[in-house]
Each structure stands twice: as structure tokens, then as C-alpha cells.
Amino acid sequence: MARILVAEDDMAVQSFVCRALAHRGHEAVGADDGLRALEALVDGPFDALLSDIVMPGMDGIALALKAARDYPSMPVLLMTGYSAERQRAHNLEELVFDVIPKPFTLMQICDAVDDMLETRPPAVQTAVEYRDSP
């Protein structure tokens, strides 16, 4: 299964999502804001990124843009409870697999992640490996 970074500032939601993904056999690692998530990506490797859009420090859209630049083969799924933010992410269709609205059920978040991983297979190289390759 996949190793997934979950960037979510609401600890209850982060815990719920990490447990749900672990239940499906994935390894989920949590980060409580966008800046910590960016640091975790560097320390990686991760096969996919699941991020809230509204977070302190760096929002999920900025995180998705940086992840797409540095880890172009890593799929990204965003989540949000705000319809305006969902519309903002709509313009990132080529970089982001989808945006899942909150609240969601365990089944909905797991199915969305599985759909993402089936459509866009997990990343095969980290950014460090990508930069270091000949």
C-alpha cells in the first residue's frame, strides 16, 4: 500500500483520516500545517499527499503547488469544508486529483484516496532522487 502525508491542522480530523487510511492498509503520516508538511515531504519519501486547503503557515493550495513542482509524479488530493476554497482549487485540475468536501465519512475519504492511487499511481521517485538522477 501507499505512504501518504496527511496535512491537516484540525487534530481530530487529522487523527480520523490517518486512522481511516491505516485501516485500508496505508501508512499515514500527519502534519499539522502546510509548512510542517513541506518539511515532511523533504524528509519523505511519500507516495501521495492529502491536504486540507485552509491551514495556518501555508495553505493547502500553496503546498500542492510546491509538491507538484518538486514531486511531479506524486498525486495530490485536497479536502475542504469551504465551498469558496473548493472553487479556488478548481483551477488546479492538472496538479490536483480532486477536492473532497468536508464533512466526509471514513468510507468516502478512503474511497477518494484509493481512486486517486488507482488513477495516478504512487510516486516512484522523491524530489531528491529526481534532482540527483543523471
Among 57-61, 68-72, 93-97, 130-134, the least confident range: 130-134
Q: How confident is the model at residue 132 (pLDDT cuts 50, 70, 90)?
A: very low
Helices H / strands E in the chain, number of each: 6, 5
Q: Using one digit for the tens of pLDDT, what is the confidence trace for 73-106?
A: 899 999 987 655 555 555 566 677 888 999 999 9
CATH architecture assigned to 3-128:
3-Layer(aba) Sandwich (3.40)
Distance CA 123, CA 120 (A): 8
Residue 103 preceded by cis peptide, ω within 30: yes
What are the structural domain ranges in the chain?
A: 3-128
Residue 45 preceded by cis peptide, ω within 30: yes
